Amino acid sequence: MAIQAVIFDLDGVLVDSEQVWDAVREFYTRETGGTWRADATRAMMGMSSREWSSYMRDELGVPVDAERISGEVARRVEERYRAGLPLLPGAQAAVRRLAARWRLAIASSSNRPVIELVLQLSGLAAQIGVVVSSEEVEHGKPAPDVYLTAAARLDVPPESCAAVEDSTNGLRAARAAGMRVIAVPNRTFPPSRAALASADVVRESLDQLSAAEVDPTT
């Protein structure tokens, strides 16, 4: 089936942001009297804001309600983005190149205001027709909810979508949604071998992604 839309993850695909979220969460955990754990970063990758803020409260001992944790962490991430948005090389060009041919969406675990800020600061808002945050669906990645919702809002069958992902949970979510899966592995937090093996295409950067790899029927 021909590809009708391309759905991008945000963190680790368009912005080199995993380290930003990691640093902010760790500092906030320690600042509030919680206990940061070495496995916390990987544990929270792909979680929705409701899920990771609850994890910080329940597993890391942050003595604040989950909604407040989510809001404060997101606010601090936004401050860092305004000071300097860590766009990945080739991200803007890739989005604009693919937007000339397909409808585009974002399916991200970031809070929606953070996603919208990235699109505004990067100048890519006009190219993205649909934005879905995991906070808007029942389950975060690796559940397929955020991808299925993006496809529904695009009015495109999931099997006619290509998803661009970088992490283990993101790749699993896109595969579970029944989409064509394109992996651009996160260099700092690389996906598992099994998740990477499930991808239809693996590329080191968005610069290398061709139209034929997005849709091999062309």
What pLDDT, on a 0 to 100 scale, did the predictor assign at position 10?
96
What value does the mean pLDDT take over residues 98-112? 96
DSSP state for residue 191 in the 8-state scheme: P
Q: Which domains does the chain have, with CATH numbers?
A: 5-16+87-214 (3.40.50.1000), 18-83 (1.10.150)
Burial of 155 by CB count in 10 Å (0-12 exposed, 13-18 middle, 19+ buried)? exposed
H or E stretch covering 78: helix 66-83
- Distance CA(40)–CA(95), nearest Å, equals 31
- The CA R_g of the chain, rounded to the nearest whole Å, is 17
What pLDDT, on a 0 to 100 scale, did the predictor assign at position 23?
95
What pLDDT, on a 0 to 100 scale, did the predictor assign at position 123?
97
Query: pLDDT tens-digit profile of 33-89?
Result: 999 999 999 899 888 899 999 999 999 999 999 999 999 999 999 999 999 999 999
Whether residue 129 contacts residue 154, with contact meaning beta carbons closer than 8 Å, is answered with: yes
Query: pLDDT tens-digit profile of 125-168?
Result: 999 999 999 999 999 999 999 999 999 999 999 999 999 999 99
